[in-house]
């Protein structure tokens, strides 16, 4: 999901709002499935997870085909990590 979130930002930066929306939607589906599993305290089955993971993987391949290069992806992930770290320090401080 972290890679998909990075591609959401890259897609927005490249004005590919359709891909950004599709990735965001599928990320929410993944989060919903994980949340349902946690709330019900039961394991998520392969049958439940497979279609969601497959769709997310296809969208990631689509983003890669859009020529969002790996260096841009790394910079975006690094910026995300730094932003999360700063928010963590803010809340602790």
Identify the CA nearest to 59 among candidates 26, 16, 14, 10. Answer: 26
Domain extents in the chain = 2-92
Does residue 22 register a pLDDT over 90? yes
Q: Which two tokens stand for residue 79?
A: 């910026």
Q: What is the pLDDT of residues 33-77, one digit of tens each?
A: 999 989 999 888 999 999 999 999 999 999 888 766 677 777 877
d(CA 8, CA 2): 10
Please tell me the distance from the alpha carbon of residue 39 to that of residue 8, in angstroms, as a whole number: 27
How would residue 93 be classed by pLDDT, with cut points 50, 70 and 90?
Answer: low
Q: What is the mean pLDDT of the chain?
A: 87
């Amino acid at each position: 999901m972290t890679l998909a979130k990075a591609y959401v930002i890259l897609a927005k930066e490249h004005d590919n709002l359709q891909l950004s929306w599709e990735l965001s939607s599928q990320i929410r589906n993944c989060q919903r499935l994980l949340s349902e599993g946690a709330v019900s305290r039961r394991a998520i089955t392969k049958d439940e997870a497979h279609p969601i993971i497959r769709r997310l993987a296809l969208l990631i391949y689509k983003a890669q085909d859009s020529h969002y290069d790996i260096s841009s992806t790394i910079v975006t992930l690094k910026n995300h990590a730094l932003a999360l770290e700063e928010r963590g320090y803010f809340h602790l401080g």
